[in-house]
Amino acid sequence: MWLSRFRALPRPLRMLVLASFINRAGMFVFPLLAVYLVRSRGLSTGEAGVLISVGSTGLLAGSLLSGPVCARAGRRAALVSSLLLNAAGYLGLAVLDGPPWTYAALLFVALVGMGMFAPAANTLIADLAEPEQRPFAYTVSYIANNLGMGVGPLLGGLAAAYSYGLMFAGNILLGLLAALTIRLSVPADTGRDAAGTPAKTGLRRAALRRDLDVAVLVVLSFCYVAPLIGLEYTLPLAVTGVLNSSVAVVGAVYTINSIVVVGAGMLIEKRIKAYPTRTLLVVAGLLWSAGMAVLVFAFSLPAVLLSTVVWTLGEIIASVVVPTYIADHVEPRRVSAFMALNGFVLSSARLVVPMGLGFVWQAHGHQPVLLLLLLTPLAGVVAFAALRIRPEARPVPEPAAPAPARYPQSG
């Protein structure tokens, strides 16, 4: 029973899942930011797009910053700091009335916070969940985030319909509530990394080879992240512009995605441990490719909905397998850096993919864009089939590097 397994997780992790849901459910501003800048601040759509692109580099910075902050100040400090930065940036956007560059600067601050959160949360899960609990813990965290994302844009739209001030206030208050939840439930010294004594040359080389193998796998996961970001950009345009349908269909896609995540997430998690990492990643890529193939060869409203069911299954597998692989194969003191790399891959996709697909669409139309979204996960399947993937678990930490504190499994 999943509820009993959830109760068996350390209390800080259970509260982290709650805080992640609260934070995502309070994500009012980001989905409606372009509308706010155009309608409330009087910017053109082009100016708003440029400012959002410039400010979104904060996601990259936040992903990279998460590792050092986790290592030096601890996981709780990184999580709380990320939420406070996000709230401060959005507060500035809500109350300050300055030149356009100030909006980009404030958005950068807010998105540094957003970029820090997920890597720090994944690192905390790696610290406190026992190896056999990790797939379940990452699955629960993933489901909580998706449920929050299903609620957030809806609540944000309702708040914005009343006033943009209410939209910002709701986002900031729920972010602060998430920060308070973490502050009260996660011990301050959780997972702060300590440098160990230098390893012998042979051991150091083996560790470098192992870390390189993990890093390559994380970077190649871009092949499964890129289609997700690409769909966020192309589906609204394709549904409304090519199929001449209502934007409500786009909302239906997000609803179906959330339903599949909740309905199939736990079923998939139960079977993940029975298969090697390579098999899981290849299957994830095949599901992504099958979903994209439906769009390429039978683009229609039913195809959009069927495609969503199929590719969501691949999304679930990859989203759980990659952080679990990091946690199982990297020394504890380096986990935060690799979780930051994982976040960096996602953040870089958010910057590169919409821009690239936009140029392709403008020059050649929607069909080549959909074809690229099919070829990208197929490339991932080939790469993961050939990649060196380590089957063994993470090595025992060096004695000089103390293991993270553990906490009771229930209570």
Full 3-state SS string of 277-304: HHHHHHHHHHHHHHHHHHHHHCCCHHHH
Average pLDDT, the chain: 85
Supply the pLDDT for residue 215.
93
Supply the pLDDT for residue 410.
46
Supply the pLDDT for residue 150.
75
Token couple for 214 = 């993990």
Q: Which range is least confidently modeled, 13-17, 29-33, 54-58, 121-125?
A: 29-33
114 pLDDT tier (thresholds 50, 70, 90): very high
Of 137, 131, 122, 124, give the one whose Cα is nearest residue 323: 122
Supply the pLDDT for residue 389.
79
Q: Are 21 and 146 in contact (CB under 8 A)?
A: no
In whole angstroms, what separates CA 205 from the centre of its chain? 31
Supply the pLDDT for residue 138.
93
Supply the pLDDT for residue 247.
63
Of 312, 324, 224, give the one whose Cα is nearest residue 273: 324
Supply the pLDDT for residue 52.
78
Residue 3 has pLDDT above 90, yes or no: no
Of 171, 145, 151, give the one whose Cα is nearest residue 89: 171
Top-ranked range on mean pLDDT: pick from 35-39, 286-290, 402-406? 286-290
Token couple for 291 = 């979903």
Cβ partners under 8 Å of residue 39, min gap 6: none
Q: pLDDT tens across 178-234, in order?
A: 999 999 998 876 555 554 545 555 566 777 888 888 999 999 999 999 999 888 878
237 pLDDT tier (thresholds 50, 70, 90): confident
Cβ partners under 8 Å of residue 318, min gap 6: 221, 224, 281, 284, 288
197 or 137, greater pLDDT: 137
168 or 45, greater pLDDT: 168
Distances (CA, A) of 140 to 71, 116, 117, 254, 261: 24, 19, 16, 19, 10
396 pLDDT tier (thresholds 50, 70, 90): very low
Residue 401 has pLDDT above 80, yes or no: no
Alpha-carbon gap, residue 241 to 98, rounded angstroms: 35
| Distance from the first to the final alpha carbon of the chain | 18
Q: pLDDT tens across 240-296, in order?
A: 778 887 766 766 777 788 888 888 888 888 888 889 999 999 999 999 999 999 999
Q: pLDDT tens across 65-112, in order?
A: 999 999 888 999 999 999 999 999 999 998 888 888 888 899 999 999
CA angle in degrees (0–180, nearest 5) for 340-71-116: 40
Supply the pLDDT for residue 295.
92
Q: pLDDT tens across 337-357, in order?
A: 999 999 999 988 888 888 788
Residue 40 has pLDDT above 50, yes or no: yes
Supply the pLDDT for residue 398.
47
